[in-house]
Amino acid sequence: PLKLHGENTPARLEVRGEVFLPQAGFEKINEDARRTGGKVFANPRNAAAGSLRQLDPRITAKRPLTFFCYGVGVLEG
C-alpha cells in the first residue's frame, strides 16, 4: 500500500523482500497485452520489474505480483 491506515501505525516502516510474478500471472499479462495491443514482456522478471516502475500505482496494483518478505529494516514511531 502507499499508506498504512489504522491505529498505532509506525511513522516509518521499511519492509525488505522480493517481488516476483508467478508464471500464470505472466501468461495472463501477456495474453491481455496481445489482445489490447499493449507491450508483451519477454519473461516474468522483466514483467515484474516493469510493473514496479509504473508511474501509476493503480496499474501496478492490478498486476498479479507476489511479495516475499524476508525482513524489517527501519521501524520508527
Domain count, the chain: 1
- Does residue 72 fall inside a structural domain? yes
What secondary structure does DSSP assign to 20-49, as a single string? Answer: E--HHHHHHHHHHHHHHT-PPPSSHHHHHH
- Summarize the confidence of residues 21-36 as an average pLDDT: 97
**If you average pLDDT over residues 6-16, what whole number do you get?**
91
Instruction: Find the domain containing 61 and state its range.
Output: 18-76
Determine what percent of the chain is predicted with pLDDT higher than 90.
70
Q: Indicate the pLDDT class of residue 76, thresholds 50, 70 and 90.
A: confident
Is 59 part of any domain? yes
pLDDT bucket at 34, cuts 50 / 70 / 90? very high
Average pLDDT score over residue span 37-45:
95
Average pLDDT over residues 31-46: 96
pLDDT band at 3 (very low <50, low <70, confident <90, very high): confident
Assigned domain for 9 exists: no
Q: What is the CATH number of the domain that holds 32?
A: 3.30.470.30
Assess if residue 5 is contained within a domain: no
CA 30 from centroid of its chain's CA atoms = 16
The answer to the question of residue 45 being in a domain is yes
Q: Grid coordinates in use for 58? A: 493503480
